[in-house]
C-alpha cells in the first residue's frame, strides 16, 4: 500500500508501516532493520514530530513472518532511539520529509 493510501485510512500510523509503504513506493526491500534505523534517524534529524511507543508484531497487523521478525529485531535494540517504533502523523509536510529520504 502506498503512503497516500495509508494516509486516507487514518491520520496517524506506526513508523514500521510507513517505512514499508515508503519502500514499496520506491520498489526497494524493507526488511533490513539497519535501513529502517537510518530512515528513523532522517525523520528525527528533520524534526518530524514522532511519539515513541511499544509495538508488538501482532499489534502491527504482522501476519507475515518477515514483518514479525522485523519488529522483533527492532525490539531487541530498544536502547537505540532509531530502532524504536513511532507514531507519525501523515500530513503534507511529513510526507515530503519521508519521500525526500534517499534510500
pLDDT in tens, 61-103: 445 778 888 988 888 887 899 999 999 999 999 999 999 999 7
Specify the 3-state DSSP secondary structure of 75: helix
Whole-model pTM: value is: 0.84
Q: So where are the chain's domains?
A: 3-99
Q: What is the pLDDT of residue 35?
A: 96
pLDDT for residue 41 is more than 90: yes
CA-to-CA dists, residue 46 to 25, 42, 93, angstroms = 21, 6, 11
Percent of the chain topping pLDDT 70: 91
> Which ranges constitute the DSSP H helices of the chain?
3-9, 15-25, 33-45, 65-76, 92-99
Cβ-contact 90, 13 below 8 angstroms: yes
Amino acid at each position: 500500500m502506498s503512503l497516500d493510501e495509508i494516509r486516507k485510512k487514518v491520520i496517524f500510523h506506526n513508523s514500521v508501516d510507513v517505512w514499508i509503504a515508503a519502500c514499496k513506493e520506491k520498489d526497494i526491500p524493507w526488511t533490513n532493520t539497519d535501513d529502517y534505523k537510518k530512515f528513523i534517524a532522517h525523520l528525527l534529524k528533520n524534526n518530524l514530530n514522532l511519539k515513541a511507543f511499544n509495538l508488538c508484531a501482532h499489534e502491527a497487523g504482522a501476519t507475515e513472518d518477515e514483518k514479525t521478525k522485523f519488529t522483533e529485531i527492532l525490539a531487541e535494540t530498544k536502547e537505540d532511539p532509531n530502532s524504536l517504533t513511532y507514531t507519525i502523523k501523515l500530513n503534507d509536510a511529513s510526507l515530503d520529509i519521508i519521500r525526500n529520504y534517499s534510500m
